Amino acid sequence: MGDMNQQMLEKYRNNFLHEVEEKVDDGHWVKMCMQCGVCAGSCTFGPDWEHTPQKIFMMIRAGKREEVLSSHSMWLCTSCYNCMVRCPRKLPITHIMHGLASYAHRLNLAPKNQPTRDFSLIFWDNCTRTGRVNELRMTISVYFREGFVSGIKKMWTLRNIGRGLFFAKRLNPMELFVNHGCKDKDGLRRALKKADEIEARRRGYAVQPRGYST
Amino acid sequence: MAKREYAFYPGCSSQLRGSAANYLVSVESMCEKLDVKMTQIPDWNCCGASISYAGSSELARHVLSARNFALSDKHLPGQDIVATCAACWLGGRETIEKLDASSELMADTNEALKEAGLEYKPGTEIRHMVEVLVEDLGYEELGKPVVKPLEGVKVAGYVGCQTNRPFGIAGESFENPMYLDKLIDTVGGESIAKYEEKVSCCGGSLAFCEPEKAEKQIKMIVESAYDHGADVICTPCPLCQANVEVYQSEINRKQGTKLDMPVVYYSQLLSVAYGGTLKEAGLDGHIIQPKKLQEIAVKVVPAKR
């Protein structure tokens, strides 16, 4: 993974904008930003971002590769699509943020232990295992991602919510054993594996190993 | 034969024992009263939601949606797909839009789907349940089966994000969509025209990984409902429902507030107004009890003379 970053650095030299255009989903839109700042003002977690979308776009053009790809900012996108519907230039900002986060993850430049990154990986692994999300297993994976003790603490803190959901029949320990899932989960997983191969071929990447790759 | 038939894509959270299990129950009882037949797409899969971008590629996410479309086309040809979950619907719409615009993406998606013995053909329509209600049936028709008008129930219509943006319901604005308020009024409830947080974000899936930030949003959404004297918040999105209901106790614990605002689905309002029982309307599936609606649900309708 580290060498993929090196490869990209060598390929694109100092032209980070070009790199984003070719490698990031919807990255070709970045040059259209006119720096009006409506996205920054519309963003749900905007005040928590170190770099708002507006800043990220300018940083890309200024070649601030390291700062952009190692930023926590894109990972604070809640996918509320407010920026996207308000953008006067119609940039698909939500998709660009996801694309940048995804690319940063691929190059292994995304911040370590980034909570949304971890959650995103857990979610994908969870839903592609059987073809449908198992909410209980997913929740446990999220809470225990920083270790056993911290997981137990989190579960203890949220015990009343868990109990409430159990009595509301919206959470059940049986989910640990009984799985909802696709009958043809093998076919689904083969299709996803193929999709990863095609994506790698198109973008000139190495195929990333996933739960369904083997 | 039912008046209208659709291919149904319920999504993961609506499954039995899932966080939106009561949503599905209320949708089923609502549809029965409206003579709408919904047949689940056999062997449907997760849409990937909006959060899976780190682990997945864009193509893989399109493959997920396209598999559902292909299955629907194979088993329920000619029927529009109806999703009840905002994220499922949005993901599906995005896939259709992107694949229609790019023959390369279309070819790649089908090359992958071939591994599962399926093929996606363009022409699929995926619609939100709310679209079926307001577009195919219309408010007048929705008012007809009402036997218990929700008199005296003040409802804050919380539309949230993904049912509203980037696609939304045709003819509605992103900043102030009115369909939910109209639905509330149609079944005799009292909507709140000036509810400020109508289209605010609840934090979405980031409630899991950035709970403090999401709780700030949720607190705003609930407090604004209180400010307007609401009895209950109503939403079309399963994630909005879960987040806004479930985390109120956490906000209370951390901040000493006393939030206790029930959050229900539009389908529960309709189901109760159509005479659904507590169980049929999924009103037995809440942590914060929607008492006013429960009282109406257990009331016996006087027989017509």
For residue A78, the domain's CATH number is 1.10.1060.10
Residue A202 lies in a domain: no
CA distance B120 to B106: 8
DSSP notation for B110-160: HHHHGGGT----S---EEEHHHIIIIIIHHHHHHTT-SS--TT-EEEE---
First-to-final CA distance of chain A: 19
* A28 falls within a domain: yes
Asked if A99 and A24 touch (Cβ cutoff 8 Å), the reply is yes
pLDDT confidence of residue B302: 67
Pairing of strands B263-265, B232-235: parallel
- Phi and psi based region of residue A131 (left: phi greater than 0; alpha: psi -120 to 50; beta: remaining): left
* A52 and A141, same domain (yes or no): no
| B17 contacts A182? CB cut-off 8 A | no
DSSP annotation of B1 reads -
Asked whether residue A51 is domain-assigned, the answer is yes
**The tokens 């939304």 sit on which residue?**
B168
Residues of B in contact with A191 (CB under 8 A): 63, 67, 112-116, 118
Are residues A116 and B209, on separate chains, in Cβ contact within 8 Å?
yes
Residue B32 region by backbone torsions, left for phi larger than 0, else alpha for psi between -120 and 50, else beta: alpha
Inter-chain CB proximity B162 and A81 less than 8 Å: yes
- Let me know whether A119 and A166 are in one domain: yes
pLDDT of the residue at A213: 80
Give me the CATH code for the B147-298 domain, please.
3.40.50.11810
Which is it for strands B154-157 and B232-235: parallel, antiparallel or unpaired?
A: parallel
Residue A112 DSSP symbol: T
Question: Rounded to whole angstroms, what are the CA distances from B10 to A4, B89, B103, B228?
Answer: 40, 10, 29, 33
B-chain residues within 8 Å CB-CB of A88? Answer: none
In this structure, are A11 and A98 located in the same domain? yes
Same domain, A98 and A135: no
Kindly state whether residues A49 and A136 are assigned to the same domain.
Answer: no
| A157 and A89 within one domain | no
Residue A41 has pLDDT above 90, yes or no: yes
Query: Who among B45, B206, B285 is closest to A168 (CB)?
Result: B285
Asked whether the predicted pLDDT for residue A1 surpasses 60, the reply is: no
Does A187 map to a domain?
no
Flag whether A210 is in a domain: no
Shortest CA gap A58–chain B (Å): 23
Verify that A93 and A27 share a domain, yes or no: yes
The reply to whether A129 and A96 lie within a common domain is: no
User: Contact A125/B208, CB-based, under 8 Å?
Assistant: no
CA distance linking residue B49 with residue B266, whole number of Å:
22
- Rg of the Cα trace of chain A? 20
CATH class of B4-128: mainly alpha
Contact at 8 Å (CB) between B46 and B301?
no
Segments making up each domain of chain B, as ranges: 4-128, 147-298
CB contact under 8 A, A45 and B210: yes
Distances (CA, A) of B65 to B15, B92, B101, B163, B189: 18, 6, 16, 17, 36
CA distance B196 to chain A (A): 15
Q: Do A170 and B203 touch (CB under 8 A)?
A: no
Decide if B4-128 and B147-298 have a common fold: no
How is residue B271 annotated by DSSP? H
CB contact under 8 A, A169 and B57: no
Among A197, A135, A124, A131, which residue's Cα sits nearest to residue A171? A135
Q: Which domain holds residue A132?
A: 115-176
Q: For B157-184, b where at least 16 C-beta lie within 10 A, e where not — what string?
A: bbbbbbbbbbbbbeebebeebbbbbebb
Which chain A residue has the Cα nearest residue B285?
Answer: A168
b/e per residue, A136-169, with b = 16+ CB within 10 A?
A: bbbbbbbbebeeeeebeebeeebeebbebbeebb
d(CA A203, CA A208): 12
**Residues of chain B under the 50 pLDDT cut:** none
User: Encoding tokens for residue A66?
Assistant: 């390291």
Alpha helices in chain A (DSSP H): 2-12, 16-23, 38-42, 53-61, 65-69, 82-86, 93-106, 115-130, 135-143, 148-157, 159-167, 185-203
Number of Cβ pairs closer than 8 Å across A and B? 206
The whole-angstrom separation of Cα A48 and Cα A63 is 23
Residue A137 and residue A99 in one domain: no
Residues with Cβ within 8 Å of B93's Cβ and at least 6 positions away in sequence, in order, are: B126, B167
Of all residues in chain A, the one with the smallest CA distance to B253 is A157
Distance between B138 CA and the closest CA of chain A, angstroms: 26
Residue of B nearest to A114 (CA): B209
Q: How far apart are CA A56 and CA B203, in angstroms?
A: 21
Q: Which residue of A has its CA nearest to B247?
A: A161
> What is the CB neighbour count within 10 angstroms for residue A177?
6
Question: How many other CB atoms are found less than 10 A from the CB of residue A64?
Answer: 16
Cβ atoms of B156 and B190 closer than 8 Å? no
- Asked if A135's CB is within 8 angstroms of B205's CB, the reply is no
User: What interface predicted TM-score (ipTM) does this complex get?
Assistant: 0.95
C-beta atoms of B46 and A133 within 8 A? yes
Contact A98 B204 (CB under 8 A): no
DSSP reduced 3-state for B232: strand
Q: Which of A84, A106, A128 is the endpoint of a domain?
A: A106
Closest chain B residue to the Cα of A157, Cα to Cα: B250
Which residue is associated with the tokens 């039912």? B2
> Chain B residue closest to A184 (CA)?
B43
Question: A84 lies in a domain?
Answer: yes
Q: How far is it, in rounded angstroms, from Cα B215 to Cα B243? A: 9
Give how far Cα A93 sits from Cα of A27, A34, B122, B153, Å: 10, 13, 26, 39
Choose from B22, B53, B162, B212 for mutation: most chain A CBs within 10 A: B53
Number of domains in chain A: 2
Residues of chain A neighbouring B52 (CB-CB closer than 8 A): 120, 123-124, 127
A91 Cβ partners below 8 Å, 6+ apart? A29, A30, A32, A33, A39, A84
- For residue B7, the cross-strand partners are B39, B81
Give the pLDDT of residue B303: 64
Calpha distance B140→B146 (Å, rounded): 11
Residue B204 has its nearest CB partner, among A79, A118, A133, at A79
Examine residue A156 and state whether it is found in any structural domain, yes or no. Answer: yes
Closest CA to B239 of B259, B263, B269, B223: B263
B190 sits in which H/E element:
strand B190-191
Compute the Cα dihedral for B2, B8, B14, B16 and give only its sign.
positive
Written as six digits, the tokens of B168 are: 């939304």
Does A85 contact B48 at a Cβ distance shorter than 8 Å?
A: no
